[in-house]
Amino acid sequence: MRKTRITSALSLSAVAALALSACASTDSGSSASGDSSADSSKSASIAITNVFSSLNSETAVGNSDTNSMISAMTSRGFYTVTDEFDIRHNDWFGSYDMTEEGEGMKVAYKVNDDQKWSDGNDIDKGDLLLAWAAYSGYFNGEGEEGVTFFDYAGDTAGLGEAGMPELGEDGRSITFTYPKAFADWESAFNITTTPAHVVADLAGLDEDTLVETLENATPGEENENLQKIADAWNTGFNTTTMPDNEALAVGNGPYLVTDVVENQSITLTANENYQGDTKPAIGEVVLRVNGDASSQVQALKNGEVDAVAPQASVDTISQLQDLENTTTTVQPDQSYDHLDLNMVSGGVFEDKDVREAFLLTVPRQQILDSLIKPMDPEAEVLNSQLYVASDTENYDDAVSKNNSDMYPSDDIDANIEKAKELLDGKTPTVRILYNTANPNRVNSFAMIQESASKAGFDVVDAGTEQWSSLLPTGKDGGYDASIYGWVSSGIGNSFLGQIFKEGSSSNYTSYSNDIVNANADEIMVTLDQARIEELKKEADGEIFKDAYGLPLFQSIAVTSYNSDLTGVKPKPGQYPLTWNIEEWDFAA
């Protein structure tokens, strides 16, 4: 499961038989046949908390909630994660199946012959290869000094074990052979949201050259064309406005981005060539940026927006529940807020004693009492880095043995005295990065700053609304600690490696632990769920023992929408409102 940063309040050991040329259409003016039922007069507006910054949400920089929401609306692939966290195969798009082979397995994917991008280009071999190259890390070199190509936000350990894929002669199929069983085989691969022919063009190449490069490049070696392709995928889709190059907005989902007002709104229009089983009924969806929860509520009340998923608070929930002609849902979220310490060499937290001292000063009970308990009187301080409290059985077992008791939350005064002993007179300066547009993060920072100062820390406010783009600078010492959130897709097991494995693109803290690294790798080749949970719980204990940081609280998800809207199925986690946007309509 790929985790996405919450920027609001609160994702083959065989050589190809033939080196086929790409099957993409060369007529960029053509269009796929479709039967759109969208009514252009119908427009739905959704309030979102954070700004748009990239049309590729799968990179470490682009991996934010707003970008991911848009990607999910503009792309579809082999499967969809439902509101029940089931993996629903999209048979209209293609098929895939797994067969066991000794200790390993083979997974074969086939894109249906009629599948095209919105500009008429076929979804084919180039798209399959590009997705594999990005998601597998196959071409990256070994170790910190090795060459890195695709800056994928997720964990590459699972798909990377499969080596080079086998490509079908039909130009639309790809097969991965895993030498060992792979826990997340069903969700490990999908087409990337960035079309291969567009990436090739951005790289100054044609798609045939892209395919030839991905088929023949040598892993770990510098390659000019491969670097161009990777650079285009990594950064070519980053934009805060509607790009002049319309090809960047090509997709195959129910909606396409057609307008962006920088830092204000994103307009998506129904894709007339969408080939899914359910065609969108609403012609236009507008995402309106509004970082203030109470303003979102007022906008819903005034009819300026039709749906909201604001940061939960007692006032927000109460105000939403009091609105007429709205449907409000409140439930535990698949997300949590956390404080991470940057262990980069030469930084203030390279010293474990200083890390432990700082974590002892974090007033987690006060943070919980102030921000969460007013909404949920039964809420408790979160004491696991890998489980949320609503996963009761696993969470309770993990907490009983994961070393979280090193940082008790019931006596902050005693903790501060222990912190002073560890510091032994030192007064370290700590720069904390967080989102200044997020009230929970602002309040968490203020409480941490005040408490830590009592032990001798000088806590510097490094908060900014641009915090998300600055997270990767932690590897270069750009900040000392960060407060933000992770939201889970609700499926798969790759998040341990994505966040905590050494060298992972989402490991912003320079964290390294041999047991955690090994467990992350073993999880990806294990089918026994009991063994997977055992490995996760052991890693959880190592993370606490290393004074990596602290989980703060499990978030609460609240959604509310105009009751005239039909088909809305709120779910916790990623895309709480829009995961099934094509099913929305307005009642007659």
**CATH number of the domain residue 493 falls in:** 3.10.105.10
Q: What is the CATH number of the domain that holds 156?
A: 3.90.76.10
Residues 338, 210, single domain; the answer is no
Residue 525, Cβ neighbours under 10 Å: how many? 18
In a domain, 132, yes or no: yes
Q: Which residues pair with 256 in a beta bridge?
A: 269
In a domain, 563, yes or no: no
Q: What is the crossing angle of helices 412-423 and 352-360, to 10°?
A: 160
pLDDT at 122: 98
- 180, 208, 235 — which closes off a domain? 235
Residues 380, 512, single domain; the answer is yes
Residues 95, 222, single domain; the answer is yes
Please state, in angstroms and rounded to a whole number, the distance separating the CA atoms of residues 130 and 22: 12
Q: What are phi and psi of 396, to 5 degrees?
A: -60, -40
Please state, in angstroms and rounded to a whole number, the distance separating the CA atoms of residues 160 and 378: 42
Residues 210, 345, single domain; the answer is no
Judged against a pLDDT cut of 60, whether residue 16 lies above it is answered with: no
Q: Could you report the per-residue pLDDT of 58-73, keeping only the tens digit for each?
A: 998 898 889 999 999 9
Please state, in angstroms and rounded to a whole number, the distance separating the CA atoms of residues 152 and 136: 9
27-31, 251-255, 291-295: least confidently modelled range: 27-31
Residues 283-290 have a mean pLDDT of 97
Residue 324, Cβ neighbours under 10 Å: how many? 6
pLDDT at 31: 35
5-19, 209-223, 241-255, 267-281: least confidently modelled range: 5-19
Identity of the residue numbered 356: E
Identify the H or E element spanning 99.
strand 94-101
pLDDT at 27: 35
Identity of the residue numbered 331: Q
Per the CB < 8 A criterion, the answer to whether 51 and 240 are in contact is yes
7-21, 45-59, 397-411, 509-523: least confidently modelled range: 7-21
Judged against a pLDDT cut of 90, whether residue 313 lies above it is answered with: no
Judged against a pLDDT cut of 60, whether residue 13 lies above it is answered with: no
In a domain, 139, yes or no: yes
- Based on the structure, what is the number of domains in the chain? 2
Average pLDDT over the chain, rounded to an integer: 90
Judged against a pLDDT cut of 90, whether residue 574 lies above it is answered with: no
Judged against a pLDDT cut of 50, whether residue 5 lies above it is answered with: no
pLDDT at 505: 76
159-163, 398-402, 580-584: least confidently modelled range: 159-163
Judged against a pLDDT cut of 70, whether residue 26 lies above it is answered with: no
pLDDT at 284: 98
* Range with top average pLDDT, 113-127, 153-167, 389-403: 113-127
Residues 549, 403, single domain; the answer is yes
Residues 339, 230, single domain; the answer is no
Please state, in angstroms and rounded to a whole number, the distance separating the CA atoms of residues 2 and 494: 6
Judged against a pLDDT cut of 70, whether residue 335 lies above it is answered with: yes
In a domain, 420, yes or no: yes
Q: What percent of the chain has pLDDT over 70?
A: 93
Domain of 201?
Answer: 13-34+86-235
In a domain, 214, yes or no: yes
Residues 405-428 have a mean pLDDT of 97
In a domain, 511, yes or no: yes
pLDDT at 490: 62
Residues 342, 449, single domain; the answer is yes
pLDDT at 491: 65
Residues 32-36 have a mean pLDDT of 44
- 235, 251, 286 — which closes off a domain? 235
Residues 541-547 have a mean pLDDT of 98
pLDDT at 392: 79
Q: Which residue has the higher pLDDT, 200 or 180?
A: 200
Residues 24, 170, single domain; the answer is yes
Q: Could you report the per-residue pLDDT of 434-453, keeping only the tens digit for each?
A: 999 888 999 999 999 999 99
Q: Could you report the per-residue pLDDT of 351-375, keeping only the tens digit for each?
A: 999 999 999 999 999 999 999 998 8
In a domain, 454, yes or no: yes
In a domain, 417, yes or no: yes
pLDDT at 294: 92
Residues 494, 354, single domain; the answer is yes
- Tell me which DSSP letter residue 525 carries: T
Residues 213, 343, single domain; the answer is no
pLDDT at 9: 28
| 4 confidence band (pLDDT: 50, 70, 90) | very low
Residues 325-342 have a mean pLDDT of 93
pLDDT at 489: 63
Tokens of 20: 């086929």
